[in-house]
């Protein structure tokens, strides 16, 4: 019957969300709490002191024996190596890596949908916009190295804390293209059908930042993203804009030879394409930090807190650095001499002046993009 | 899954309901156990995986943090959303018409092959597979062949100096969706339309000729009128098929979310425009309305088309 095929596809699009929640909730009935109920003190602990010593925290986490992480692609900021190191150090704690490719918004949805289940994510890694709006889901926690983290990059109660960041950059295949020195270079005929953004700015943080960078590089400010939208409209009209979804595969095959993305993600492409170079334009730069948070209803509250301590230790901060990202404790570690200097020197040079949008600016820009982006690039 | 041709009634069967019930009760053999019991597993499956999710999805369009709201449904009047629906309907209509015409021509060509011939079996089998060939696989197949670095693109450029992307990379925008969609529309048309085409009785052609009619006259006065309802039904089916396709577009066009399923994705997953999850429900409601109209028309036309397949 042809009708069944239609039904299948029609429902696929619209039932996606509903079906997921339905299926998950129907499993919920049969899901039993693993082992004992989590110790309440772990769920309300706001620092190591609440456990006693670091060894006590480790013991509590090992007793739980599991950790659920979500939205951590293994090729993103070196997360693969970080996860492997945790598994090696704590073989008693089995890590479940859920949905590596979902967006920040979907991480929070996963916490909502799986609330009260063993499958709920224990920890989040979120873009700032989502972190600011989702504080109801977070448990406050201050890691041992809390004082090393710049005040501007942490929520004062430790509800969420910046973890690693970078600058919006342009990656390009140096075997085919010259290095762009200014934004307007990309409008030239040399870059015909070559310039892509990693994602759609109405959906993805990195793409949103690309429009932000185009805004400040065009002489605008973050109160109004219109100059950035106008730039990409010009780029599109010049026939230079590529609208395919950027992946490691498209970079490797040469389908996307010039890409706007975070510098640490662009740097990671060098592994698959040795000619891949990363440029951070002179003038004003656009920075963005991702943020760590602990799920308030984490099924493994001690393991979640151990993961946080682990991430903010010197070793793992250096692993993020190895992935081309700038760890949040970088300044303090440079002063203390614990930074891996060779890795730090390999980073592209930071711009003289850096902007980060406020919550209000982000919201306004989101609304503006929602109204104008699709028309600008069609 | 493969799509089977519309089920033909057994020879000699009539539409008379009484006759049908008489047959089914004879066949069930268990007095007192209604044949409908056999439908329960399927009905349950439909309820769980189609009806409930649809109700939840559409219901979410009327929900907000403080209960019932019409805001999301009113947001459907937003110019961006309206143009998205126009794009979706336009793209679906265009690929349905092109797919239906090409598919019908292919069916006509296959009439020359015997009912049981190997080449015809091959085409039917291939159509069954290709009609379901969509999503990321199809998108990537197109990127690899006519992408900017695709085999065909480079061959055309290096051999003939033809640059198919002289005006920009259209393959990753709305126009770029037309070819992949036609790619699965044509086989679907062959699957659904061939049975109707095969039902044209040779006796009609003979009668037409012996009464002094011409070949063209046969198609004009007999073939086309008989086939018209089936053609229309298949066309509507193709429209619905394209209208609800998501994965192919999601993998090809990453900017602008030009069609409704992509807008639903944006509303659900965006990390830059928050709090629009319920708009997805309203968009789904819009899609359900379009689909309901399409399938309603399909049912009407199909009933008429079935008259000639007995």
Q: Residue ranges per domain, chain A?
A: 29-164+288-338, 166-287+357-377
Percent of chain A scored above 70 by pLDDT? 89
| Residue B17 backbone dihedrals phi, psi, to 5 degrees | -60, -40
pLDDT higher than threshold 90 for residue A90: yes
Helix (H) or strand (E) segment spanning residue B179: helix B178-198
pLDDT value for A59: 94
Sorting pLDDT into bands at 50, 70 and 90, what band is A214?
very high
pLDDT higher than threshold 60 for residue B18: no
Average pLDDT over residues B107-128: 86
pLDDT value for B300: 87
Percent of chain B scored above 70 by pLDDT? 88
| Inside any domain, residue B42 | no
| Inside any domain, residue B297 | yes
pLDDT, one tens digit per residue, over A244-269 is 888 888 899 888 999 999 999 999 89
Average pLDDT over residues B208-236: 88
The whole-angstrom separation of Cα A268 and Cα B259 is 32
| Inside any domain, residue B73 | yes
Average pLDDT over residues B8-15: 40
The whole-angstrom separation of Cα B230 and Cα B192 is 9
| Inside any domain, residue B178 | yes
B208 touching A (Cβ < 8 Å) = no
Q: How far apart are the first and last CA of chain B?
A: 26
- In the DSSP assignment, the letter for residue B36 is G
pLDDT value for A38: 45
pLDDT higher than threshold 90 for residue B14: no
Higher model confidence: residue B26 or residue B209? Answer: B209
Q: Which of residues 241-300 of B touch A (CB under 8 A)?
A: 241, 243-246, 250-258, 261, 264-266, 268-275, 277, 280, 284, 287-288, 291, 295
According to DSSP, the β-strands at A94-98 and A276-279 are unpaired
CATH topology of domain A166-287+357-377: D-Maltodextrin-Binding Protein; domain 2 (3.40.190)
The whole-angstrom separation of Cα A87 and Cα A91 is 5
pLDDT higher than threshold 80 for residue B25: no
Residues of chain B in contact with residue A106, where contact means CB-CB under 8 angstroms, are 268-269
The whole-angstrom separation of Cα A323 and Cα A311 is 14
A324 Cα to chain B: minimum distance (Å) = 23
pLDDT higher than threshold 90 for residue B278: no
pLDDT higher than threshold 70 for residue B50: yes
Contact indicator for B258, B173 with CB cutoff of 8 Å: yes
CATH number of the domain within which B172 lies: 1.10.3720.10
Domain A166-287+357-377 in the same topology as domain A29-164+288-338: yes
Contact indicator for A77, A89 with CB cutoff of 8 Å: no
pLDDT higher than threshold 90 for residue B79: no
| Inside any domain, residue B4 | no
pLDDT value for B309: 60
Contact indicator for A193, A237 with CB cutoff of 8 Å: no
Q: What superfamily in CATH does domain A29-164+288-338 come from?
A: Periplasmic binding protein-like II (3.40.190.10)
Among A271, A274, A241, residue whose Cα is nearest residue A258: A241
pLDDT value for B186: 95
pLDDT higher than threshold 90 for residue A71: yes
Higher model confidence: residue A373 or residue B215? Answer: A373
Higher model confidence: residue B303 or residue B193? Answer: B193
pLDDT higher than threshold 80 for residue A2: no
pLDDT higher than threshold 90 for residue B243: yes
Domain count across chain B: 1
SS3 label, residue B268: helix
State the residue range of the domain holding B59.
50-309
| Angle subtended at Cα A352 by Cα A346 and Cα A355, rounded to the nearest 5 degrees | 105
To the nearest 10 degrees (0 to 180), the angle between helices A79-89 and A301-311 is: 120
Would you call A22 and B172 a contact, using CB atoms and an 8 Å cutoff?
A: no
pLDDT higher than threshold 80 for residue A155: yes
Query: Per the structure block, which two tokens stand in for A132?
Result: 């600011």
pLDDT value for B30: 58
| Inside any domain, residue B209 | yes
pLDDT higher than threshold 80 for residue A34: no
Average pLDDT over residues A34-49: 71
Average pLDDT over residues A329-345: 93
Would you call B56 and A2 a contact, using CB atoms and an 8 Å cutoff?
A: no
The whole-angstrom separation of Cα B20 and Cα B35 is 12
Residues of chain B in contact with residue A241, where contact means CB-CB under 8 angstroms, are 168-169, 255
pLDDT higher than threshold 60 for residue A28: no
CB-nearest partner of A200 from B49, B54, B255: B255
Contact indicator for B226, B310 with CB cutoff of 8 Å: no
pLDDT value for A363: 86
Mean pLDDT score of chain A, rounded to an integer? 87
pLDDT, one tens digit per residue, over A264-323 is 999 989 888 999 999 999 999 999 999 999 999 999 999 999 999 999 999 999 999 999
pLDDT, one tens digit per residue, over B33-47 is 778 888 999 999 999
In chain A, the residue whose alpha carbon lies closest to the alpha carbon of B273 is A366
Among A246, A205, A378, A234, residue whose Cα is nearest residue B258: A378
What value does the CA radius of gyration of chain A take, rounded to a whole number of Å? 22
| Inside any domain, residue B266 | yes
Average pLDDT over residues A128-146: 93
pLDDT value for B72: 84
The whole-angstrom separation of Cα A252 and Cα A254 is 5
Would you call B269 and A242 a contact, using CB atoms and an 8 Å cutoff?
A: no
Average pLDDT over residues A75-80: 92
Stretch among A82-91, A292-301, B16-25 having the lowest mean pLDDT = B16-25
Contact indicator for B142, B171 with CB cutoff of 8 Å: yes
CB-nearest partner of B57 from A17, A204, A246: A17
Measured in whole angstroms, the distance separating CA B305 from the mean position of its chain's CA atoms is 17
Average pLDDT over residues B165-181: 85
Would you call A200 and B246 a contact, using CB atoms and an 8 Å cutoff?
A: no
The whole-angstrom separation of Cα A96 and Cα B171 is 38
Task: Please report the sign of the dihedral spanned by the C-alpha atoms of residue B83, residue B89, residue B93, residue B94.
Answer: positive
Sorting pLDDT into bands at 50, 70 and 90, what band is B308?
low
pLDDT higher than threshold 60 for residue B97: yes
Residues 6+ apart with CB under 8 A from A184: none
B87 Cα to chain A: minimum distance (Å) = 11
| Inside any domain, residue B23 | no
B143 touching A (Cβ < 8 Å) = yes
In a mutagenesis test of the A interface, which of B43, B271, B305 is the best target, namely the one with the most A β-carbons within 10 Å? B271
pLDDT higher than threshold 80 for residue A186: yes
Mean pLDDT score of chain B, rounded to an integer? 83
In chain A, the residue whose alpha carbon lies closest to the alpha carbon of B5 is A1
Q: How far apart are the first and last CA of chain A?
A: 38
Sorting pLDDT into bands at 50, 70 and 90, what band is B11?
very low
Sorting pLDDT into bands at 50, 70 and 90, what band is A145?
very high
Contact indicator for A210, A260 with CB cutoff of 8 Å: yes
């Amino acid at each position: 019957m042809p009708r069944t095929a239609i039904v299948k596809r029609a429902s696929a699009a619209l039932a996606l969300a509903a079906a997921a929640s339905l299926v998950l909730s129907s499993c919920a009935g049969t899901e039993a709490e693993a082992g004992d109920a989590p110790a309440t003190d772990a769920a309300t602990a706001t620092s190591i002191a609440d456990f006693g010593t670091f060894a006590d925290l480790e013991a509590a986490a090992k007793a739980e024996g599991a950790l659920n992480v979500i939205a951590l692609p293994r090729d993103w900021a070196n997360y693969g190596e970080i996860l492997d190191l945790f598994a090696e150090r704590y073989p008693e704690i089995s890590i479940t890596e859920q949905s590596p490719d979902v967006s920040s918004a979907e991480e929070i949805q996963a916490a909502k949908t799986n609330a009260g289940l063993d499958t709920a994510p224990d920890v989040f890694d979120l873009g700032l916009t989502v972190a600011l709006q989702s504080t109801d889901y977070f448990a406050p926690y201050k890691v041992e190295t809390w004082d090393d983290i710049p005040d501007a990059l942490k929520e004062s109660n430790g509800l969420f804390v910046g973890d690693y960041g970078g600058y919006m950059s342009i990656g390009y295949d140096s075997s085919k293209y010259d290095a762009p020195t200014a934004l307007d270079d990309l409008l030239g005929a040399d870059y015909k059908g070559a310039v892509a953004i990693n994602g759609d700015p109405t959906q993805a943080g990195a793409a949103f930042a690309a429009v932000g960078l185009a805004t400040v590089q065009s002489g605008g400010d973050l109160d109004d993203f219109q100059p950035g939208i106008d730039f990409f409209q010009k780029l599109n009209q010049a026939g230079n804009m590529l609208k395919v979804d950027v992946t490691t595969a498209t970079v490797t095959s040469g389908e996307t030879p010039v890409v706007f993305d975070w510098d640490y993600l662009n740097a990671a492409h060098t592994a698959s394409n040795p000619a891949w170079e990363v440029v951070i334009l002179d003038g004003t730069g656009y920075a963005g930090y991702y943020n760590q948070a602990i799920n308030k209803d984490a099924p493994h509250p001690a393991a979640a807190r151990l993961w946080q301590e682990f991430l903010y230790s010197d070793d793992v901060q250096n692993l993020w650095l190895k992935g081309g990202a700038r760890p949040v404790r970088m300044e303090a570690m440079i002063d203390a001499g614990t930074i891996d200097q060779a890795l730090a020197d390999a980073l592209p040079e930071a711009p003289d002046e850096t902007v980060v949008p406020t919550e209000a600016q982000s919201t306004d820009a989101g609304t503006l993009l929602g109204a104008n982006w699709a028309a600008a690039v069609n | 899954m493969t799509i089977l041709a519309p089920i033909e009634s057994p020879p000699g069967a009539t539409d008379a309901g009484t006759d049908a019930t008489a047959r089914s009760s004879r066949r069930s053999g268990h007095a007192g156990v209604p044949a409908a019991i056999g439908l329960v597993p399927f009905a349950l499956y439909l309820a769980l995986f189609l009806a409930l999710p649809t109700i939840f999805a559409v219901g979410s369009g009327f929900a907000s943090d403080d209960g019932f709201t019409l805001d999301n449904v009113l947001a459907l009047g937003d110019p961006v959303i309206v143009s998205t629906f126009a794009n979706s309907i336009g793209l679906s209509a265009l690929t349905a018409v092109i797919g239906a015409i090409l598919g019908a021509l292919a069916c006509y060509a296959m009439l020359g092959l015997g009912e049981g011939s190997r080449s015809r079996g091959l085409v039917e089998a291939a159509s069954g597979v290709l009609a379901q060939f969509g999503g990321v696989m199809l998108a990537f197949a197109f990127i690899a062949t006519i992408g900017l670095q695709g085999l065909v693109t480079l061959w055309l450029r290096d051999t003939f100096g033809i640059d198919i992307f002289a005006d920009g990379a259209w393959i990753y925008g709305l126009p770029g969706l037309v070819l992949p969609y036609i790619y699965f529309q044509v086989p679907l048309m062959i699957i659904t339309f061939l049975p109707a085409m095969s039902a044209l009785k040779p006796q009609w052609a003979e009668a037409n000729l012996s009464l002094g009619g011409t070949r063209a006259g046969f198609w004009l006065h007999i073939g086309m009128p008989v086939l018209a309802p089936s053609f229309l039904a298949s066309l509507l089916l193709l429209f619905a098929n394209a209208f609800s396709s998501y994965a192919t577009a999601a993998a090809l066009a990453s900017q602008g979310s030009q069609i409704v399923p992509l807008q639903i994705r944006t509303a659900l997953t965006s990390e830059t425009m928050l709090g629009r999850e319920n708009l997805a429900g309203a968009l789904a409601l819009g899609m359900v309305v379009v689909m309901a109209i399409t399938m309603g028309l399909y049912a009407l036309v199909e009933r008429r088309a079935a008259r000639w397949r007995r």
